[in-house]
A = this chain, B = another copy of it.
Amino acid sequence: MYVKLLSISRRTRSTPFSRRVEAAGVKAYTVYNHMLLPTEFVSYEDDYWHLCKHVQVWDVSAERQVEIRGPGAMRLVQLMTPRDISKAQDKQCFYLPLCNAQGGIINDPIAIRHSPERWWLSIADSDVKLWAQGLASGLELDVEVFEPEVWPLAVQGPMAEELVSRLFGEQIRSIRFFRGEYLTFRGKSMYMARSGWSKQGGFEIYLNDASLAEPLWDELFRLGADLEVRAGCPNMIERLESGLLSYGNDFDDSINPFECGLDHFINLDADIKSLSLAALRKLAGKHEKQLSGLVFNQKMRFEKTCLEANNNNAGVVTSHCWSPRYGKHLAFAMLNRDYLSNHTSIEVEGVAANITALPFSSDVLNA
């Protein structure tokens, strides 16, 4: 990652939290689903240590919702994913790789079933709404597909449960991972789940009233003052250490679920109607690439992200960062399986890296 100036316009949408994010000293953004997503406040490293120790409030409005509503909702959602959704329950979060007819990954949202006829897809960075609308139009399904006025706010870190319990009461402690409840803030009911784009624990509040954005933000900071609450954002270092993938960085629609290790979210044998299943059944076991971890014992520059070995293409680095905790440079790399079958290490810029499975094991990180 490197930084340049970003020209912000109406197209790179602000959020109802943007004034508070700016006041909190955001340093940099990315653009995600045509919306501003903060990437850094104090520094990647400082943000990282704070996140792992305390609690942060994240404006993740850019996790846009695609609402699918109507009698055809279950059918449409099932068409979009090779994961069997018949077991999903109301208020549950469900990680759903979405795949096209070739088996390529369109997006990897968290699906939230509000009812069998009302789903949200909390999406990564691609216009799933357009794909769903195209399918619905083509199949003349009885559904509405739209982006509701919802802006998720994440509370993440080891003290997240404490902070959120001060806001919504002790009962939130019993919400299990990837489960949610409808809670009330200033008289408005909104969905909240135990989820979020870190492995430090926490919740995502799906704010559904823009006028309550600043009151909600301010209340979290008032209640969390003694917890050293800070504004934060998905953190590159924490993401790589935790093995969390990023759509658009680590995989895209040229990649199938087997190549990025999502096999266990695909129900190849299920009796379901999914656009991608026929293609995926053919691809199973025959895919050519595999997302892998690389561990270097020193800081890397990665001037080239294409990896070569003996002048042959071995693969490509998709994400990387220096881990201050482990004193190692960590990378995700999409490696060719024929290279993988013969090698357990690779040399990059004169430095040897161990190749490892993802997520990184603690043995590997602590070695």
With a cutoff of 8 Å between Cβ atoms, the chain B residues found around residue A9 in the complex are: 1, 30, 246, 249, 319
Contact A6/B34 with A127-B130, A134-B133 known, Cβ cut-off 8 Å: no
A343: Cβ under 8 A from any B Cβ: no
Chain A interface size, as a band, is 35 or more
Q: Give every chain B residue within 8 A of A132 (Cβ-Cβ).
A: 134
Write out, one digit per residue, whether chain A residues 194-212 have a CB within 8 A of any chain B CB (1) or not (0): 0000000000000000000
Select one of B5, B106, B137, B305 contacting A275, CB under 8 A.
Answer: B137
Q: Which residue of B lies closest to A8 (CB)?
A: B2
Residues of B within 8 A of A134 (CB): 130-138
Contact of A130 among B8, B10, B128, B318 (CB under 8 A): B128
Q: Which residues of B contact A319 (CB under 8 A)?
A: 9-10
Binary flags per residue of A122-160, CB closer than 8 Å to B gives 1, else 0: 000111101111111111000000000000000000000
Q: In the complex, A101 Cα to B135 Cα: how many Å?
A: 12
Given contacts A5-B3, A130-B131, contact A248 B10 (CB under 8 A): yes
State whether the Cβ of A40 lies closer than 8 Å to any Cβ in chain B.
yes
Task: Please indicate which of the listed interface residues A2, A12, A246, A318 has the most CB atoms of chain B within 10 Å of its own CB.
Answer: A12
Residue-wise, chain A 229-260 has the 8 Å CB interface mask toward B (1 for contact) of 00000000000000000111100000000000
Binds B, one of A21-29, A53-61, A87-95, A112-120: A21-29
Residues in B with CB closer than 8 Å to A275 are 137
Interface centre among A6, A28, A246, A275 (most CB of B within 10 A): A6
A88 to B247, CA, bound (A): 37
Chain B CB within 8 A of A282 CB: no
Complex interface: chain B residues within 8 A of A39 (CB): 7
Q: Which of chain B's residues have a CB closer than 8 A to the CB of A30?
A: 6-7, 9, 11-12, 31
Cα distance A46–B136 in the bound complex, in angstroms: 48
* A24 → chain B closest CB, angstroms: 13
Q: How many copies does the complex hold?
A: 2
- Would you call A4 an interface residue if the criterion is a C-beta within 8 Å of the partner chain's C-beta atoms? yes
A133 B100 Cβ-Cβ under 8 A = yes
For the complex formed, measure the closest distance between the CB of A273 and the CB atoms of chain B, giving whole angstroms: 12
**Docked-complex contact A126 and B130, CB < 8 angstroms:** yes
CA A5 to CA B44, docked complex, whole Å: 14
| Chain B neighbourhood of A126, CB < 8 A | 34, 127, 130
Jot down 27 A-B pairs with beta carbons below 8 A, ordered by A. Answer: A1-B9, A3-B6, A3-B8, A4-B6, A4-B26, A5-B5, A5-B27, A5-B28, A5-B29, A6-B28, A7-B30, A9-B319, A11-B125, A12-B31, A30-B31, A100-B137, A106-B130, A127-B127, A127-B131, A130-B130, A130-B134, A134-B134, A134-B136, A135-B138, A136-B138, A137-B138, A138-B138
Q: Top 6 nearest A-B pairs by Cβ distance?
A: A138-B138, A134-B134, A11-B248, A6-B6, A127-B127, A5-B28
What residues make up the interface of A, taking CB atoms closer than 8 Å to B? Answer: 1-12, 26-31, 34, 39-40, 100-101, 106, 125-128, 130-139, 246-249, 275, 305, 318-319
Supply 19 further A-B pairs (C-beta < 8 A) apart from A6-B30, A138-B139. Answer: A1-B7, A1-B8, A3-B7, A3-B8, A4-B5, A4-B28, A5-B6, A7-B29, A9-B30, A9-B246, A31-B31, A34-B125, A100-B133, A106-B130, A126-B127, A130-B131, A135-B135, A135-B137, A136-B138
